């Protein structure tokens, strides 16, 4: 199998054993693509180490031989961070065999897990211990925690629980040099040096491989209520969000904004999805409240919020989910919105953030700019209003040529991102940088910022072997 490998690569195979090294093209193929087909890479070898020590041995050899290594988790990322470079000989290092939950400590409320643990398995382990691990994403059945950490994943419950950064107490990382950093701490407070943990989180595997993590569990909510409300405009949705924040504090777990066209798409294309309200509204808010003290308090909150909001005219109509199944159905509407765009043809996407208070003005300005460029474009902008994070997606005009539309990706990006910059926003809110946004980010950020990142990269990865071509400028 590995006989035909170039000599230097044989050393890698020896570390993990032949059974855990893929060299045949059809075995390697799944590691070279990205779900939307934006990226195709090449690689001679996929390694599946079984331990932190094996990862260390691989990176030691890679640094010594100057072999580029691309870490891979569940490979669900949207920006090509997990895809090897095209035409190169990057070795893929998959964490998929390192999928153990190492320890569950319900007293300290932590889970210690391998970097390759699937997110849903961690959620389940927490639930089995009467706790909640609150990170929740569309891809939770296949994404892996090392990838969630490396991208500082967000998802649907950031309002109440924060991003991955807030859900992680400690890390174990194998550095590009092969050195192992054991930072598996369980402390809420620890001011004892530079914040290495937060440097590795969100670094997209360019500073090392996250092989283990201490994750925070939280109490399972006793009460949960989900409501779906029709509102007149994003301005009104923002006012509703502010009222909900004030009333619910961090019991407000999710606050999502959706446009009518998104409801049209999902009800048309996604099996089982239906509009919870009897007549159409221009915009919708999905409100998720979870309370730790009792079921009654969530119920009281959602009723009070909707009553007050109706009184002052913030809500045109609203439905409260009456069962777990209906709660799931409301969320499915929101979570399938991206998928529902596919049958409508090509879609040009943006994952942007602006200050929360600027979301309505951002939407107005971006719509104006996009429609000036493409008068028939169908803008389907939805997302986490409470975080200022909008998935500003644009479906092709009805009947347009898909390829011709997609060919304008960068052109449309430029227009939308220019609006983001005028609102002091980020063009990479939660999906990360990867291959998709590296050059644009470098072009738009202050030079000293890129320079500092390159200095950090150089300090951690002097041989330049870790996930090259991602996050920072190649030397």
Binders of a copy of itself among 335-354, rule CB under 8 A? 353-354
Question: Contact between 180 and a copy of itself (CB under 8 A)?
Answer: yes
Residue 450 Cβ vs a copy of itself, minimum distance, rounded to whole Å: 8
- Count Cα atoms within 13 angstroms, Cβ side, for 204: 27
Question: Contact between 469 and a copy of itself (CB under 8 A)?
Answer: no
The position carrying tokens 């598996």 is 184
Question: Contact between 441 and a copy of itself (CB under 8 A)?
Answer: yes
Closest to a copy of itself by CB, 71 or 202: 202
Q: For residue 156, what is the DSSP state?
A: T
Closest to a copy of itself by CB, 131 or 378: 131
| Nearest C-alpha neighbor of 139 from the set 384, 273, 339, 341 | 339
The Cα 319–Cα 304 span in angstroms is 14
Residue 396 Cβ vs a copy of itself, minimum distance, rounded to whole Å: 27
Q: Which x/- pattern over 292-321 shows residues binding a copy of itself (rule: CB under 8 A)? A: xx-------x--------------------
Closest to a copy of itself by CB, 316 or 461: 461
Q: Which of 3, 26, 188, 475 is the binder for a copy of itself (CB under 8 A)?
A: 188
- Burial grade of 64 (CB within 10 A; 0-12, 13-18, 19 or more): middle
DSSP string, 394-463: EEPPTT--HHHHHTTHHHHHHHHHHHHHHTT-BSBSSS--TTTSHHHHHHHS-HHHHHHHHHHHHHH-TT
Residue 462 Cβ vs a copy of itself, minimum distance, rounded to whole Å: 9
The Cα 362–Cα 365 span in angstroms is 5
Q: Which of 185, 232, 260, 421 is the binder for a copy of itself (CB under 8 A)?
A: 185
| CA distance to 96, 168, 254, 346, per residue, from 284 (Å) | 39, 32, 13, 24
Token pair recorded at residue 463: 């041989």
Phi-psi category of 84—alpha, beta or left, where left has phi over 0 and alpha has psi -120 to 50? Answer: beta
Token pair recorded at residue 36: 């939307």
User: Which of these segments, 130-138, 197-205, 317-325, 395-403, binds a copy of itself (CB under 8 A)?
Assistant: 197-205
Residues 220-239 that bind a copy of itself (CB under 8 A): none
- 46-47 vs 69-72, strand pairing mode: unpaired
User: Which of these segments, 10-18, 147-155, 270-278, 280-288, binds a copy of itself (CB under 8 A)?
Assistant: 147-155
Closest to a copy of itself by CB, 196 or 415: 196
Residue 181: Cβ within 10 Å count: 15
Residue 272 Cβ vs a copy of itself, minimum distance, rounded to whole Å: 30
Closest to a copy of itself by CB, 89 or 442: 442
Closest to a copy of itself by CB, 48 or 384: 384
Q: Which residues pair with 144 in a beta bridge?
A: 118
Closest to a copy of itself by CB, 41 or 154: 154
346-380 as b/e: b if 16+ CB within 10 A: bbbbbbbbbebebbbbbbebbbebbeeebeebbbb
Residue 94 Cβ vs a copy of itself, minimum distance, rounded to whole Å: 23
Q: Which residues pair with 105 in a beta bridge?
A: 110
∠ Cα 236 240 245 (to 5°):
150
Token pair recorded at residue 355: 């200050």
Q: Which of 33, 64, 120, 196 is the binder for a copy of itself (CB under 8 A)?
A: 196
Closest to a copy of itself by CB, 96 or 109: 109
| Segment holding 359, helix H or strand E | helix 359-373
Token pair recorded at residue 250: 């961090």
Q: Which of 15, 175, 240, 466 is the binder for a copy of itself (CB under 8 A)?
A: 175
Token pair recorded at residue 116: 């390759």
Question: Contact between 113 and a copy of itself (CB under 8 A)?
Answer: no
Total residues at interface with a copy of itself (CB under 8 A): 85
Q: Which of 33, 120, 310, 356 is the binder for a copy of itself (CB under 8 A)?
A: 356
User: Which of these segments, 22-30, 269-277, 323-331, 355-363, binds a copy of itself (CB under 8 A)?
Assistant: 355-363
Question: Contact between 465 and a copy of itself (CB under 8 A)?
Answer: no
Question: Contact between 463 and a copy of itself (CB under 8 A)?
Answer: no
**Would you tell me the crossing angle of helices 234-248 and 295-311 to the nearest 10 degrees?**
140
User: Which of these segments, 1-9, 184-192, 257-265, 397-405, binds a copy of itself (CB under 8 A)?
Assistant: 184-192
Question: Contact between 289 and a copy of itself (CB under 8 A)?
Answer: no
Q: Which of 191, 278, 279, 323 is the binder for a copy of itself (CB under 8 A)?
A: 191
User: Which of these segments, 65-73, 244-252, 324-332, 411-419, binds a copy of itself (CB under 8 A)?
Assistant: 244-252
Closest to a copy of itself by CB, 266 or 291: 291
Closest to a copy of itself by CB, 151 or 327: 151
Residues 358-397 that bind a copy of itself (CB under 8 A): 358, 384, 387-389
| Segment holding 114, helix H or strand E | strand 110-114
Residues 30-49 that bind a copy of itself (CB under 8 A): none
Alpha helices in 224-317, H assignment, sequence order: 234-248, 260-269, 295-311
């Amino acid at each position: 199998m590995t006989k035909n490998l170039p000599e230097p690569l044989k050393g890698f195979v020896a570390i993990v054993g032949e059974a855990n090294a893929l060299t045949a093209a059809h075995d390697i193929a799944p590691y070279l693509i990205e779900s939307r087909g934006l990226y195709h890479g090449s690689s001679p070898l996929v390694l599946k180490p079984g331990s932190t020590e094996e990862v260390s041995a691989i990176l030691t050899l890679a640094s010594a031989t100057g072999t580029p290594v691309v870490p891979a988790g569940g490979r669900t990322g949207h920006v090509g961070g997990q895809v090897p470079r095209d035409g190169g000989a990057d070795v893929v290092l998959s964490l998929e065999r390192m999928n153990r939950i190492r320890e569950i400590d319900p007293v300290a409320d932590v889970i210690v897990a391998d970097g390759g643990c699937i997110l849903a398995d961690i959620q389940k382990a927490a639930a089995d211990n009467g706790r909640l691990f609150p990170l929740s994403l569309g891809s939770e059945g296949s994404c892996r925690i090392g990838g969630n950490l490396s991208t500082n994943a967000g998802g649907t419950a950031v309002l109440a629980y924060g991003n991955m950064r807030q859900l992680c107490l400690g890390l174990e990382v194998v550095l590009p040099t092969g050195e192992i950093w054991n930072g598996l701490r369980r402390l809420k407070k620890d001011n004892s040096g530079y914040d290495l943990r937060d440097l590795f989180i969100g670094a997209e595997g360019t500073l090392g491989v996250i092989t283990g993590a201490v994750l925070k569990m939280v109490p399972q909510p006793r009460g949960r209520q989900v409501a779906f409300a029709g509102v007149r405009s994003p301005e009104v949705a923002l006012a509703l969000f502010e009222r909900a924040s004030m009333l619910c504090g961090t019991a407000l777990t999710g606050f999502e904004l959706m446009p009518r066209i998104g409801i049209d798409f999902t009800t048309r294309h996604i099996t089982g999805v239906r509009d919870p309200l009897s007549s159409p509204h221009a915009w919708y808010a999905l409100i998720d409240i979870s309370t730790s003290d009792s079921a009654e308090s969530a119920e009281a909150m959602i009723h009070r919020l909707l009553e007050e909001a109706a009184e002052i005219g913030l809500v045109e109509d609203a439905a409260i989910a009456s069962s777990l199944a209906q709660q799931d159905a409301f969320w499915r509407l929101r979570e399938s919105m991206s998928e529902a765009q596919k049958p409508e043809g090509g879609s040009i996407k943006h994952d942007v953030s602006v200050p929360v208070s600027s979301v309505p003005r951002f939407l107005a300005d971006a719509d104006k700019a996009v429609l000036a460029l493409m008068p028939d474009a169908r803008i389907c902008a939805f997302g986490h209003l409470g975080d200022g994070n909008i998935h500003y997606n644009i479906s092709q005009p009805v009947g347009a040529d898909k390829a011709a539309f997609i060919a304008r990706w960068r052109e449309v990006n430029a227009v939308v991102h220019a609006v983001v910059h005028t609102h002091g926003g980020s063009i990479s809110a939660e999906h990360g940088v990867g291959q998709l946004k590296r050059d644009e980010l470098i072009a738009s950020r202050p030079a000293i910022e890129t320079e500092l990142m390159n200095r950090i990269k150089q300090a951690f990865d002097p041989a330049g072997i870790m996930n090259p071509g991602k996050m920072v400028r190649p030397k």
